[in-house]
C-alpha cells in the first residue's frame, strides 16, 4: 500500500515510534528513524524495522534543532510521509511547575513538531509532491489530567498546529492529521504506570474500556492516516483512548 514512499518517524526509537516505523515498513514504506538517542541506543527499533525494510535508515536528530532538521530533510531523495512523534512528559503539580519543565515540554512537544512539520511541508511543496503529515497528539490535549500542565498545553498546541497546517497546505495536496492516543501500556505512560503509584491508581479509574491501549493500535491508525483510504481527510485528530475522554460516571 505504501511502496515507493519514504517515511520519517521522529522519536522512532521510543515505544510508539518504533511500532509506527515497523507498521509503515510492513506496508511497504522505506523508513527513516529519527531520535535524539545515539544510534547504538536505538538498535532495538532499527532491528525491528529491518525485518520489513532492510534499508531502514537512522539519524540522530534533536527536533529542537532546526538546522539539523533542515539538513536531515534536505539529504533525503524524496519525502512522502512524516510522523512527528517525539515527545516527553515530566509530571509536576501546577503550583510547583518550574519554568524549565514548562519550556522543555513546549520546546520538544510543540516547537519540535513545528520544526519538523514546517521543514517537511516546505520540501513537499518544493518537490510538488503531495504528502502526509501525521503528528502524535494525546487525548489530554483537550482534557486536563493532574500534574501535567506543560504536557497538556503542548499537546493542545499540536492540535491547533494540525488544523492550521491542514488549512494552509490543502491547496498543495498535503494532508495533515494527528493520532491522539489515550493511556498506552508502553512509552511515557508505561513508565508512569511502573514508577508513579498515584498515576496507576488514577488510571485504574479512567478508562471505560478497562485496559490501557497498545503501541500497535496507535501504529495501525498512523498507517491508516498515511494510506489512500484517508485521501479526503485533513485537519482531523483521530482519538484512540478507550473512551477516556468521555465523561466519567462512578458506576
Ligand X SMILES: NC(=O)c1ccc[n+]([C@@H]2O[C@H](COP(=O)([O-])OP(=O)(O)OC[C@H]3O[C@@H](n4cnc5c(N)ncnc54)[C@H](O)[C@@H]3O)[C@@H](O)[C@H]2O)c1
Residues binding ligand X (CB under 6 A): 10-11, 13-17, 35-37, 62-64, 85-88, 108, 112, 136, 138, 181, 183-184, 186-189
Min. distance of Cβ 160 from ligand X in angstroms? 16
Min. distance of Cβ 30 from ligand X in angstroms? 20
Strand partners, 32: 8, 57
Min. distance of Cβ 241 from ligand X in angstroms? 8
Look up residue 214 and give its DSSP letter.
-
162 vs 171 by CB, closer to ligand X: 162
41 vs 168 by CB, closer to ligand X: 41
Q: What sign has the CA pseudo-torsion 59, 128, 233, 27?
A: negative
Q: Which of 58, 151, 199, 224 is catalytic?
A: 151
Q: What are phi and psi of 81, to 5 degrees?
A: -135, 135
* Cell numbers describing residue 5: 514512499
- C-alpha separations of 69 from 56, 74, 203, 220, 242 in Å: 18, 9, 36, 26, 34
Q: Strand order of the sheet with strand 6-10?
A: 57-60, 30-35, 6-10, 81-84, 132-136, 175-181, 237-240
24 vs 88 by CB, closer to ligand X: 88
- C-alpha separations of 171 from 42, 57, 130, 165 in Å: 37, 31, 10, 11
28 vs 38 by CB, closer to ligand X: 38
Min. distance of Cβ 26 from ligand X in angstroms? 18
Q: Say whether 151 is catalytic.
A: yes
| Catalytic sites, residue numbers | 151
Amino acid at each position: 500500500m505504501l511502496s515507493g514512499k519514504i517515511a520519517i518517524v521522529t522519536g522512532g526509537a521510543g515505544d510508539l515510534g518504533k511500532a509506527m516505523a515497523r507498521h509503515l515498513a510492513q506496508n511497504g514504506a522505506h523508513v527513516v528513524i529519527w531520535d535524539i538517542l545515539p544510534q547504538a541506543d536505538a538498535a532495538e527499533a532499527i532491528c525491528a524495522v529491518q525485518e520489513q525494510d532492510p534499508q531502514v535508515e537512522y539519524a540522530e536528530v534533536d527536533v529542537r534543532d532546526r538546522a539539523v532538521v533542515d539538513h536531515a530533510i534536505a539529504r533525503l531523495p524524496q519525502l512522502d510521509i512524516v510522523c512527528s512523534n517525539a515527545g516527553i512528559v515530566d509530571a509536576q503539580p501546577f503550583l510547583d511547575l518550574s519554568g524549565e519543565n514548562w519550556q522543555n515540554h513546549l520546546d520538544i512537544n510543540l516547537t519540535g513538531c513545528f520544526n519538523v512539520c514546517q521543514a517537511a511541508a516546505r520540501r513537499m511543496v518544493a518537490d510538488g509532491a503531495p504528502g502526509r503529515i501525521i503528528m502524535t497528539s494525546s487525548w489530554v490535549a483537550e482534557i486536563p489530567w493532574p500534574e501535567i500542565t506543560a504536557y497538556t498545553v503542548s499537546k493542545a498546541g499540536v492540535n491547533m498546529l494540525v488544523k492550521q497546517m491542514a488549512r494552509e497546505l490543502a491547496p498543495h495536496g498535503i494532508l495533515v492529521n494527528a493520532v491522539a492516543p489515550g493511556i498506552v501500556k508502553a512509552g511515557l505512560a508505561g513508565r508512569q504506570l511502573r514508577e508513579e503509584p498515584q498515576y496507576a491508581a488514577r488510571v485504574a479509574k479512567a478508562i471505560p474500556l478497562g485496559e490501557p491501549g497498545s503501541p500497535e493500535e496507535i501504529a495501525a491508525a498512523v498507517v491508516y492516516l498515511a494510506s489512500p483510504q484517508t485521501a479526503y481527510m485533513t485537519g482531523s485528530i483521530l482519538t484512540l483512548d478507550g473512551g477516556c475522554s468521555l465523561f466519567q460516571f462512578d458506576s
